[in-house]
Amino acid sequence: MLDIKFIRENKDIVIAGATKKHIDIDIEALIALDDRRLELLKQIEAIRAEQNEMSRRISIEHDTIARNQMIEEMKIVKEDMNVKDEEWKEIMKKWQEIMLTVPNVPDISVPDGASDEENVEYKVWGEKTNFTFTPKDHVELMTALDLADFERGTKVAGFRGYFLKNAGALLEMALWRYFMDALVKKGFSPMIVPSLVNRATLFGTGYLPQGEEDLYKTQDSDYLAGTSEVATMAYYSGEVIEKEKLPLKFASFSTCFRREAGSHGKDVKGLFRVHEFYKLEQVILTEASHETSVKFHEEITANVEELLQSLNLPYRIVLNCGGDLGLGQAKKYDIEVWVPSMEKYRETHSASYFHDFQTRRLNIRYKDTDGKLRYAHSLNNTAVATPRILISLIENNQQEDGSILIPEVLRPYIGFDKIEK
């Protein structure tokens, strides 16, 4: 959420940012509502001061007639206060609803564009795998090697359900541990975080109100989060962090759930767009500095690049255009890994920074060196999301005989160098 003072003082910038993100919002209407909010606040404060003064005078008035007269006048003032209070509540409800829909201002480097088709490629690493035979897709490979069962997955869990089995399960767990170990060595604190979160947490991280259709909801009106970022960000909600502790770096793991609303008919085969998956997420809380946010944004992106390169997986990085940014994101990179069967790069990681958009909603602050309370800045990037990354790992490492070579860095975690019948 943006500061209303910032919105009022930088109206044109906020409007331009919303336009770049292709988000329709009436900033003029918000400012007019805020004008009325401020006017009401002054009136309520004046009435409250009048009430306090009248209460004081009544308490010391000994003349019964005069005292009764002041009590009658007090009733009129109270009625006026009740009317103003009701209007205040209605104004605040509308004000908060609109404030929650005002998008963060995108960084000046974010390109124009309406969708992911207009994201800008700016880095490519590795050569696309060149096979001397006709390669198979991951579904065929994993089924033949008894690494997954998609038919029984559908029977048990419904559409897009799956079982990972045998070396398939071990390979997934090897990836979790390899990526976690690498991040811990870089100073990230490991955490296993809840998937079940309350509504306030999702509002705080910016996944509500806009993203509700993509969330699973429980009978108790809680939600299953689509990323471990959600619970991690709420860990310090409502707290003041000691500045000396910043930056705080977390490597957070959880089961994740997404309904994939609107994706019917897209990537229905295999492991690409499943409803239940796992994520190890990099999350950083840092001081309120644009330069620091940019520095850490590059760092968490480089962390993933280093690990993908160690797995010898060809990838590219794209700079997301305005229309492909979420409500709170100031800038985002998508990292896309080469999938031979699709003959294209597919997104596996997203690295974003938010400035104080999330922390303002979650009320996460720190005390600066001058003693002033400031909202921290937040960033996140996927470390590894499974089982999606298995698609590229398996397809790029397949052999002509149908076996799959295990990348050397994963062999200590899985215990063998090849998966074969």
Please give the positions annotated as active site: 258, 273, 347, 350, 388
Give the whole-angstrom CA distance, residue 64 versus residue 323. Answer: 70
Helix or strand holding residue 375 (H, E): strand 373-375
Tokens 């799959």 locate to: 404
Q: Which residues contact 115 (CB under 8 A, 6 or more apart)?
A: 321, 323, 324
C-alpha distances in Å from residue 33, one per residue of 10, 43, 361, 385:
17, 15, 20, 43
What is each CA distance from 116 to 81, 167, 319, in whole angstroms?
A: 52, 34, 10
Bin 126: left if φ > 0, else alpha if -120 < ψ < 50, else beta: left
Check: CB of residue 330 under 8 Å from CB of residue 210.
no
Residue 112 CA to residue 22 CA, distance in Å, equals 10
Any idea what DSSP says for residue 398?
B
Bond from prior residue into 209 cis (ω within 30 degrees of 0): yes
> For residues 358 and 206, is the Cβ–Cβ distance under 8 A?
yes
CB atoms near residue 1 (< 10 Å)? 23
> 395, 341 in Cβ contact below 8 A?
yes
Other CB atoms within 10 Å distance of the CB of residue 351: 26
Are 77 and 58 in contact, with CB atoms under 8 Å apart? no
3-state secondary structure of 124: strand
Whether the CB-CB separation of 282 and 306 falls below 8 Å is answered with no
Whole-angstrom distance, CA of residue 331 vs CA of residue 317: 13
Cα separation, 365 vs 148, in Å, equals 45
Of 209, 191, 176, nearest in space to 387 by CA: 176
* Closest C-alpha to 108, from 357, 297, 291, 331: 331
User: CB 230: neighbour CB atoms within 10 A?
Assistant: 29
